[in-house]
Amino acid sequence: GAVVSQHPSWVICKSGTSVKIECRSLDFQATTMFWYRQFPKQSLMLMATSNEGSKATYEQGVEKDKFLINHASLTLSTLTVTSAHPEDSSFYICSARGGLAGSWTQYFGPGTRLLVL
């Protein structure tokens, strides 16, 4: 149980294009999903927290117009990197947490490696 998938796992795109990454909880309902960014040999940096049906809460320094997050259902959240540039190249990881009382554990997706040329 508690499986989270991400698609795509790899994406290479040209500068200026937009990229959408999907995060799905496969066997549980995720009332809260998180999006992280990780640079090589560094820890995870939280970008935003999204609750189903409401707007995402972005961390300080994260541009909400550049990183669009939609959490339209209890099993799906999407991150769109708009007008991507080479500095957006990174490893993007989502996680999901269930809605049960006391559900404190975040389960992570396999990540998406984005390379912007």
Contacts with another protein by CB under 8 A lie at 2, 32, 34, 41-44, 46, 49, 57, 91, 93, 95, 97, 104-111, 113
- Sorted by sequence, the CB contacts under 8 Å of residue 79 that are 6+ apart come out as 20, 21, 23, 35, 47, 67, 68, 69, 92, 94
Q: Which two tokens stand for residue 94?
A: 């989502």
Location of structure tokens 């940096």:
45
Beta carbon of residue 18, minimum distance to another protein (angstroms, whole number): 23
Beta carbon of residue 46, minimum distance to another protein (angstroms, whole number): 6
Using the minimum distance from each CB to another protein, give the nearer residue, 19 or 92: 92
DSSP 109: -
Beta carbon of residue 16, minimum distance to another protein (angstroms, whole number): 26
